[in-house]
Amino acid sequence: MNDMTPPNIPGAKTLPKDWETDQEVRWCPGCGDYAILKAVQRTMPEIGGRPENTVFVSGIGCSSRFPYYMETYGFHTIHGRAPAVATGVKLANPDLDVWIITGDGDGLSIGGNHTMHLIRRNLDCQVLLFNNEIYGLTKGQYSPTSRVGTRSPSTPFGSVDRPANPCAFALGAGGRFIARGIDVHKNLPTVLKAAHAHKGTGFVEIFQNCIVYNDDVFAPFTEKKNAGAAQMWVEHGKPLLFEGGSKGLALDHERLVLKVVDVAEGDWQAAGVIVHDQTNRGLAHMLVEMPFGAFPMALGVIFDDPAPTFESAVVTQNAEAAQGKKPDLQKLLSSGQTWQVEKEPRVE
């Protein structure tokens, strides 16, 4: 709600319900967004977040209604531009905890340029990209992440263009934190916490089911019955195993690509299974680009290798450039080559 909120007591420990607003949530019944909202509201107390220091910035689309439901500061901006608005917010006040909520259309189509530059600059913020592979709010057109052949009102004979891979895009833009989660999966808060702990742009692709226009598009790996064989939750320092540890990923040294290997009796080392190193950019590229089907879906924190952030570099440079200079506007105005005109015009 926007009014009559009892003031929060700074420093007090919050509960998930402290992060809820009184606004009626307007997503379709059964939408994956509800689960994500709950996961975020559960995460905020755990990371010690303060509502008054938190800003949710979104663009346009179903996901972008998110800020209205978070009891924080919030800015529902215009289509695709949330990263740019968030950049201004963070540069103006680096102490704020900034979260960007976007979708596959908002963040990768109309706002793809801003997403790229946000990640390239490494602004300290979290980007939650709700990927449902469809335009929901405009009633079901195919999106830049829709698979080839997606039938929609704008592609009645099936889409013909190849989809973008959000994590590969983010990594290619120079991303230093790349993770994946699933709307209804219990691991989502863990992923969100890791994104928040990362200093820099924390990019999280969340597979989100659109129950109305693209139901079950992720079922091949999100359904409980498929989870074991199709989900591979990666963890730093742990072997890349799935299907209850009976399968793993190894490197095909001839072709420099990943391959699926069988693990006999838990001896993953004998099978040559790779140990996940979240600071290995090359491995991250291979993991996010594995074709699903032949490979499982890599989930969790795939890449996490911090680098200096944009806003800290700006603040540092501003301070250094200003050092030792006194802001004297009158002097500034009088700078350059000047001349004095006497009372009487010069007569020659």
**Interface with other proteins in residues 36-65 (CB under 8 A):** 51-53, 55, 57, 60
Cα–Cα dist 306/303, whole Å: 10
Taking the least distance from each CB to other proteins, the nearer of 6 and 29 is: 6
Closest CA to 204 of 132, 127, 107: 127
What's the closest the beta carbon of residue 320 comes to other proteins, in angstroms? 8
Task: Give the DSSP H or E segment for 143.
Answer: none
* Residue 4 binds other proteins, judged by CB under 8 A: yes
As given in the structure block, the two tokens for residue 233 are: 């939750």
Residue selected from 14, 87, 201, 222 as contacting other proteins according to rule CB under 8 A = 87
As given in the structure block, the two tokens for residue 226 are: 């498929």
Contacts (CB under 8 A) with other proteins, residues 198-257 = none
| Binding piece for other proteins, criterion CB under 8 A, among 31-39, 141-149, 184-192, 322-330 | 322-330
Each residue 88-127 as x (binds other proteins by CB under 8 A) or -, in order, gives xxxxxx-xx----------------xx-xx----------
Collect all residues with Cβ–Cβ distance below 8 Å to 160 and sequence separation of at least 6.
148
What's the closest the beta carbon of residue 5 comes to other proteins, in angstroms? 6
What's the closest the beta carbon of residue 96 comes to other proteins, in angstroms? 6
- Residue 16 per-residue DSSP state: G
* Residue 23 binds other proteins, judged by CB under 8 A: yes
* Residue 154 binds other proteins, judged by CB under 8 A: no
| Binding piece for other proteins, criterion CB under 8 A, among 160-168, 171-179, 256-264, 339-347 | 339-347
Cα–Cα dist 178/176, whole Å: 7
As given in the structure block, the two tokens for residue 139 are: 């009633």
Q: Which amino acid is at 106?
A: D
φ, ψ at 220 (rounded to 5°): -55, -25
